[in-house]
Amino acid sequence: MGCAKSDNPFFETYKNKYGAPPFELIKNEHYKPAFAEGIKQQQAEIDAIVDNAQPATFANTIEALDFSGELLKKVSSVFYNLYSAETNEEMSKIATEVSPLLSDHNDNIYLNEKLFVRVKALFDGREQLNLTPEQNRLLEKYHRNFVRSGAALNAEQKIQLREINKKLSLAELTFGQNVLDETNAFKKVIDNESDLVGLPESVRQAAAEAAKAAKMDGKWLFNTQKASFIPVLQYSENRELRKELLMAYTTRANHDNDKDNKAVINTIMKLRTQKAQLLGFETSAAFILDDTMAKTPKTVYDFLATIWTPSLSKAKEEAAELQKLMDVDAKGQKLEAWDWWYYSEKLRKAKFDLDEEVLKPYFKLENVRQGVFDLSTKLYGLKYKKLDNMPVYHPDVEAFEVTDADGTFIGVLYTDYFPRPGKRAGAWMNNITEQYIKDGVNHRPIICNVGNFTKPTADKPSLLNMDEVETLFHEYGHALHGLLTQVTYPSLSGTNVSRDFVELPSQVMENWCWEPEVMKTYALHYKTGEVMPKALMDKIQLASTFNQGFVNTELLSASLLDMDYHVIKDTADFDVDAFEKASLARMGMIPEIIVRYRSTIFNHVFGGGYNAGYYSYTWAAVLDADAFQAFKETGDIYNPTVAKAFRKNILERGDSDEPMKLYRAFRGAEPNPDALLNKRGLK
């Protein structure tokens, strides 16, 4: 369906004072024409750079390249934000049609020989250019991107690479669509209340309201969203129900139907391996990691081993302890993956007198969000104002103006926290616009924080569990990275850093989450407004390393599985289930724990850009534990000097320098891995 340019919001200057998209005016029919025109306009800009008779300069080549494609960025940012958070069948169709066009367009830029000649000439003569450190970083980044995108290949190899890229973009898209479709397809309907024994009233109520919304009055409805099934794993005495829901979650897209992802994984890995080898690397992991802090697969494997060994040992101890607990009320039965959550919840209650259901009334979502706002005020001086008349893409979305201590405008934050059928699982941060400086104007960013947290019920607000509280803090760390950035060029802005550095600003925020001083600002009972009693806060502190064998083993097994896929050297078809089984056996995974993401639902790796990069959560955990130690060492978790250094050297710098150089500028030294082992009780 076409539409006139005059009717298309993407072809107009956004009238909102913050430059926010007019979501209420944007229709599905607007995307394809805007994508087509955006591609056309950027191609004309690239042609102008290439056809410039003047010798290549930083301004007429690198700078011009980085500021090109304004319309394409404008439509892409809106489309892909909504494609993740508020999609529909028509948008999926558009994504499938647009994906190969964007792949082609990207190749038209990075495989353009004349453009590469200009970039290479500047790179080879960079010592004589008198560039600023940021300009030098941008030049090096573009040269590296051109080489890694195949600019140095011969004509025949470039044709091969184009075909690989096109097929790969579609396969990765298909993987994510299949996971979303399978997530939406599963519904567990319960019509007998006796099957709900053990479930807290709040969980029953949420399930009853979900059933009512699906026109199933008098029943209870569960699905494979974590907010729905995790409480069942924790509290349900119905072992078969626990098993059914966990298996439904872990086996999505693995049912040999039209949504099965096993063949898609084969396609993706074949193409990724071919691409890496075409570009001169033995494996996909070697190619990807060459552009990270880690640099090589061996570095990643060696690093993961240092955390895996103590984690697995701890997990085995935990499994033995849970088995003893299980023996008391289920003699002769062996602990299985669907029992772990249930018995660890019992054990936590027995050891620390800590019950998540007792904690949740203190974790009202709006209070937790305010807590993270207050934390950023104390650390960085930020102020917030709710914007009631901002355009939003869904009624659940709220918008906030963010300003600095002196009143300077920082950016806009959108929050979107509840699950719905059009939203993929998980939590993430995205940009609608990025920060950059052009013609003396500092263009400020618009950032989205998206989650799938526990929804409000008829008589209760959204009350978060501990994992959801941590996730909210985590994603807001990404938001701060995007909001506070102060660089000149879009490609270096905010979170445009290597995968194994991008999680530092997010994960460091989790360190403040359970500090009593911080909890006093947000852990307020939703009915009375009273602060959580000190006795409860103390229990949270005592239990901070509880179940860490499970947590780390579940996470690291996914990191190792990811690496095992990406060190594949041949492109022959393989059995995905058998590959996964062999990988887990090789690492010594215990059967009582299921890898955090089974292969067919591993969206981070096969659909989300974390391929050969899932290790980065643990890599960054070493950085974040060490970074928080910088505050703790001063005896003040809000220490203004340390906060200023972190803001100046990490949050504001984006990708304007080598990550470890930025970290050393903040900390004065490289991170100490012991900080993480101590924090997680693994040493």
Q: Report the alpha-carbon distance of residue 110 to residue 118 in Å, rounded.
A: 12
Q: Is 220 helix (H, G, I), strand (E, B) or coil?
A: strand
Q: Report the alpha-carbon distance of residue 381 to residue 372 in Å, rounded.
A: 12
Beta-sheet pairing, 383-387 with 428-433: unpaired
For 659, the token pair is: 């990550």
Nearest CA among 464, 511, 525, 532 for reference residue 642? 511
Cβ partners under 8 Å of residue 10, min gap 6: 26, 30, 34, 37, 38, 71, 74, 75, 78
Inter-helix orientation angle 262-278/548-566, to 10°? 60
Nearest CA among 159, 130, 148, 229 for reference residue 187? 229
For residues 84 and 423, the answer to whether their CB atoms sit within 8 Å is yes
Query: Around Cβ 113, how many Cβ atoms within 10 Å?
Result: 11
Cβ partners under 8 Å of residue 37, min gap 6: 5, 10, 11, 71
Task: Note every long-range contact of 172-176, with CB atoms under 8 Å and residues 24 or more positions apart, other chains counting.
Answer: 172/268, 172/606, 172/607, 173/95, 173/96, 173/99, 173/607, 174/264, 175/253, 175/261, 175/264, 175/265, 175/268, 175/603, 175/606, 175/607, 176/424, 176/603, 176/607, 176/608
Q: CA-based Rg of the chain, rounded to a whole angstrom?
A: 25
DSSP for 542-605 reads HTTTTTHHHHHHHHHHHHHHHHHHHT--------HHHHHHHHHHHHT--TTS--SS-GGG-HHH
Of residues 434, 475, 510, 554, which has the active-site annotation?
475
Q: How far apart are the first and last CA of the chain?
A: 61
Handedness of CA 242, 243, 244, 248 (dihedral sign): positive
For residues 480 and 378, the answer to whether their CB atoms sit within 8 Å is no
Question: Is 475 a catalytic site residue?
Answer: yes
For 549, the token pair is: 């064998």
Q: Report the alpha-carbon distance of residue 8 to residue 332 in Å, rounded.
A: 67
Query: Around Cβ 258, how many Cβ atoms within 10 Å?
Result: 7
**Known catalytic residues?**
475
